[in-house]
Amino acid sequence: MAACPRSYDQLLGLIQQLYAAPGTQDAWAPFLDGLCTAVDGYCAHFISVDQRGLASLALTVRSDPAAMIAYADHWGAFDPWGRSRRLRSAVSGSG
C-alpha cells in the first residue's frame, strides 16, 4: 500500500507549499521536508540531469552525507532517469 499524508489538512498544506515553491530559492527544502514527514520518508532529493546524462543532487533534505557523496562520486553516472533516451530527447519544459 502506498504511503499517504496523515490528514486532509496535511495534504492541502503540502499542495500549498508545492504551488508556492517555484520561483523561490528557499521554499523547496521545507516542501521536501514536509513531504518526508507526510509519507514517513527517510529523505528526499531533487536530482538535476545535464545534457550528457550526468545526474547530480540539486537539493536534498534529511540525507546521509555519506550517501550524497557516494551518489555524486559513483551512482549519479548510472541514474536510470538521467540515462533515459526519451528524457534526453525531451525539450525543456515539455511533458
**pLDDT 10s digits, 15-71:** 999 999 998 889 999 999 999 998 999 999 988 877 776 778 889 999 999 988 988
What average pLDDT does range 81-91 have in this prediction?
A: 71
With a CB cutoff of 8 Å and minimum separation 6, the contacts of 79 are 47, 49, 53, 55
What average pLDDT does range 77-87 have in this prediction?
A: 73
Run of H or E including 15: helix 8-20
Run of H or E including 60: strand 55-61
**Contact by Cβ (8 Å): 54, 77:** yes
Instruction: Please state the pTM of the whole predicted model.
Output: 0.72
Q: Does the pLDDT at position 93 exceed 80?
A: no
Cell 545534457, located at residue: 51
